[in-house]
Amino acid sequence: MAEENKSFFKGLFKKLGIGAAEEPAETPEEQPSQGVEQQEPQQEAPTSLQPPVAEPPAPAQSAQPVLTPVPEPPAPAPRQLWTEPAAPAPAPVSEPAEQAKPSFFDRLKRSLSKTHETIIGRVDTLLLGKKEIDTDTLEELEEILITADLGVKTTVDLIRTLEQRLKRDELQDGAALKRALKEEIQLRLLEHHAPLVVTGKKPFVIMVIGVNGVGKTTTIGKLAARYAGEGQKVLLAAADTFRAAAAEQLETWAKRVGADIVRHKEGADPSAVVFDACKAAIARGTDVLIIDTAGRMHTKVNLMEEMKKIRRVLTREIPDGPHETLLVLDAATGQNALSQAKLFKEAADVTGVVLTKLDGSAKGGIVVAVSHEYALPVRFIGVGESVEDLRAFDPVQFVDALFQ
């Protein structure tokens, strides 16, 4: 019966197209008779019922995806937990300390800082705690102003005016007194103030006088730079032939600012230098002629006579010259500057004043004294070493800087 079944299944397999190799597995009773050798080919040869399938990836590859050669996507920007602080981009306006210079008013305030402490600082101390102003307060104020080199005449005039305002009940407290003092000082400076105008005359002749050491030659050089910068044709006359190297110093300034110069040998006659300078100024069409004179001591009569001789020669060559006689004073000398102003005005017909070295002086009150006592306009003030530190005097600006 078993043999018949076997034959039946073989015939059925042939009709279905199944090879003999795909015959159903034999029963356990038949396996020992076929041996191990018939089982191995059955495991290796696939049947026609199982189509070829692609070999699956190795287990090791599926277990370790990191080793799979998959194209990596573009890496995102690395994320940093901490970064170095980036240096700020330089802004065009981030360098005021190097590019922006302080205004002239700020420099003037710094230059007058010592004078401010001498006058305004002491006035503030005087008024501290005072609830009302009386005549005793004005007497103490008078002492402060005299010792601050405002001069006796100017101080007395100021105090008398303040006493009148006190009687009119205008000085009710310390603030009112300071305000009144500022107004009165400003009025006295404005009374004789006039800027120096060098147009209208050609050549416009400026004769500069003053004692040695006040900064006279340096002031001439800065004036030449000022007018040359305005487009004026400038000629310098080195008539200080007594001081060693004075002409060389002036020549250096002439080259620096682009001005012409007339000079003689050391020890030559100053009047001869002025004569040649006048001739050259007329011939060259000079706009401004600036004459340097010897730094003569005002107590030596013979030297003052020499200055008068220079003026006579100058007037002969340029009939209405000099058009300006500038007296250069050192603000730091205080009352000595007042005495110089008195004697020079008598001997040389001074028409204007230049106050130098205000930046290192505690006696800036001399500016008020010189202008008020001798009715002289302050033309320029010097507040530093550079060329631009010689400025035309502005009474309102000066008083504002002094009181701030």
Q: Tell me the binding residues for GTP.
A: 210-217, 292-296, 356-359
Cα four-point dihedral sign 346, 348, 354, 359: negative
Q: How far is CA 303 from the centre of its chain?
A: 44
Strand order in 234-238's β-sheet? 260-262, 234-238, 288-292, 204-209, 324-330, 352-356, 378-382, 390-392
Q: Three-state SS for 339?
A: helix
CA dist 295 and 255 (Å) reads: 22
In degrees, to the nearest 5, what angle opens at C-alpha 283 toward C-alphas 278 and 284?
100
Name the nearest CA neighbour of 212 among 47, 333, 43.
333
CB 313 within 8 A of CB 269: no
DSSP for 3-25, please give it: HHHHHHHHHHHHHHT--GGGPPP
Q: Quick one: tokens of 370?
A: 């010189």
Name the nearest CA neighbour of 391 among 252, 195, 256, 205.
195
Q: Quick one: tokens of 333?
A: 């000398």
Tell me the residue type at 100.
A
Query: Which residue numbers belong to the known binding site?
Result: 210-217, 292-296, 356-359
Tally Cβ neighbours within 10 Å of residue 1. Answer: 5
Maximum distance among all Cα pairs of the chain, rounded to whole angstroms: 172
Q: Quick one: tokens of 390?
A: 């010689």
End-to-end alpha carbon distance in the chain = 137
Q: How far is CA 218 from the centre of its chain?
A: 23
CB 235 within 8 A of CB 261: yes
Q: Quick one: tokens of 145?
A: 């102003």
Helix (H) / strand (E) containing 376:
none
